[in-house]
Structure 1
Amino acid sequence: MPGTDTPAAPSAPAHATPAYDKHAYEPFAVTVDLAVFTIRSGTLHILLVERGQEPYAGRWALPGGFLRPDESAEAAARRELAEETGLDDVAGLHLEQLRTYSDPRRDPRMRVVSVAFAALVPDAPQAHGGGDAARAAWIPYGGEDTGAHGPLAFDHDRILADAHERIGGKLEYTCLATAFCPPEFTLGELRHVYEVVWGTELDPANFRRKVLATPGFVAQIPGASRLTGGRGKPAALYRGGGADSLHPPLLRPAPEPAPTEGTRR
């Protein structure tokens, strides 16, 4: 009607931000990579897959895969762990987030950020493989390049070395070693975990004394024992004692200094 004032449109606050444009940023993918350790035939092994597709077709790599839109990084890691190991139930296995690897050039296909995990499997079945893997296998751990199997694909040598250092360090101040053992184990079997992960021999009597003096580390199973070879009496069986951390810590032996020039042998 004539003479009627038309309401003015509300003005945006001076501090308002423009609408978010998701297309303004270059897309990138997120993957999970797993450093899965176990002890087989008395030796530390790592689960590796042989890539069946480019990039790095024919090269060994850590198992892993891309996150699905509806899952978290940990859910993706447990899914990949179940697929690669063939285990029906991975909920009880030790799985911990290691760190995030985000070098822009780590994957030649596109920008890919990886969330890496370390996992322990006490009684590893035959590896299965799947996805873009030609095959999977438990390979003896032999250092950053896994010995004769050459450098791993992507930056997986670095991830594997970081995971091994993390596991070795946590054995010092947590009860993580029991995660490598069956539900019932001898102190000799527990000591062997430390020896293969640390790569050094430990004095049996000293190790036994330290373990039994650490509250909550292990609990002896009354009346249970197992023959371990030789002519000695059966060894007592233990289970995890329920503690999470070790007080005092069980420190790894300091490495022996390298011989200097002129040192007598």
Structure 2
Amino acid sequence: MEQSVVSVDVVTLRYLPEDAGVTVGIAPREFDPFAGRLALPGVLLGRGERLAEAARRAVRAKLGVPDAAIDAVGQLVTFDEPTRDPRGPTLSIAMWGVVGPHEGPARWAPFDAVPALAFDHNRIVEVARNLLAQLLWKDLPFTRALAGAEFPATRAVDLTAALHGVRPDPANLNRTLAAVPGLRRTEERRRTKATGRPAAVWAFDPED
């Protein structure tokens, strides 16, 4: 039986203060198959390499993001369709990554405007979005990396809408935020461009 190889493909998210919503990092492939086609950053898993290390390597090499700007990475799901790679059977372990401000050549696209990608990467993005929506406000490393140490309530609305595809009910979202461990509503109110009105500011407790 032909042996499979293992690739690590990363759904890399960026959500900077100046961004209107969450965007996904993609870049042209350098080599065949699909040379020149846009794709998620991916690498073959090296012998003895941990998944998180491979994910960081993929984001550095394919998106040009320096390691210092990669805030966090985590594992999502495995794709095992035997024909997903024309070179032969390849398992794809989909990872998530969150990056901060940096200079780089990557292209960033909103979830609803991701163009046609190589391999099964559009399917990976679709599945990953649903899984990440479930992690938001529940998985603390993912949530803290994406939301930041503090944020106005309007940013929480925009972030939730970007992953779920629909805007949340404000009252339900406030209850969700109040239940997040280590997250508190501060006394500060911050005026935002989105509404022009002051919004409550939420902040995570400092990490040890």
2:36 matched to 1:58?
yes
Q: Which residue identity does 2:111 align to in structure 1?
A: Y
Residue 109 of structure 2 aligns with which residue? 139
Structure 1: distance between partners of 2:196 and 2:54: 48
What is the TM-score of this pair, normalised by structure 1?
0.64
2:102 matched to 1:125?
yes
Misfit runs of 4+, over 4 Å: 172-176, 229-233
The 5-angstrom pairing of residues 1-265 of structure 1 reads 26-39=2-15, 41-83=19-61, 84-89=63-68, 92-93=71-72, 95-121=73-99, 123-128=100-105, 136-142=106-112, 146=114, 149-150=115-116, 152-171=117-136, 173-175=138-140, 176-212=142-178, 214=179, 216=181, 218-221=183-186, 224-229=188-193, 232-233=197-198, 235-241=199-205
Distance 1:210 1:181, change over 3 A: closer
Conserved? CA contact 1:219–1:240, under 8 Å: yes
Q: How many residues align?
A: 201
Q: Which residue identity does 1:186 align to in structure 2?
A: P
Give CA deviations for 1:210-235 in whole Å, capped at 9, x if unaligned.
Answer: 533x26252245x65533247645x4
Give CA deviations for 1:95-119 in whole Å, capped at 9, x if unaligned.
Answer: 2212222222221123322221122
Structure 1: distance between partners of 2:170 and 2:20: 16
Distance 1:139 1:232, change over 3 A: closer
What is the TM-score of this pair, normalised by structure 2?
0.79
Distance 1:108 1:188, change over 3 A: same
Distance 1:190 1:110, change over 3 A: same
Higher RCO structure (Cα 8 Å, ≥6 apart): 2
Distance 1:215 1:61, change over 3 A: closer
Of 167-176 and 55-64, more deviation after overlay is shown by 167-176
Q: Which residue identity does 1:160 align to in structure 2?
A: V
TM-aligned CA deviation for residue 209 of structure 1: 4.8
Conserved? CA contact 2:12–2:96, under 8 Å: yes
TM-aligned CA deviation for residue 200 of structure 1: 1.6
Higher helix fraction (1 or 2): 2
Give CA deviations for 1:70-108 in whole Å, capped at 9, x if unaligned.
Answer: 412222112222332523326741x22122222222211
Gaps of 5+ in 2: none
Structure 1: distance between partners of 2:14 and 2:170: 22
SS in 2 for 1:100: strand
Higher strand fraction (1 or 2): 2
Conserved? CA contact 1:37–1:44, under 8 Å: yes
SS in 2 for 1:65: strand
Conserved? CA contact 1:127–1:138, under 8 Å: no
TM-aligned CA deviation for residue 184 of structure 1: 2.0
Distance 1:68 1:53, change over 3 A: same
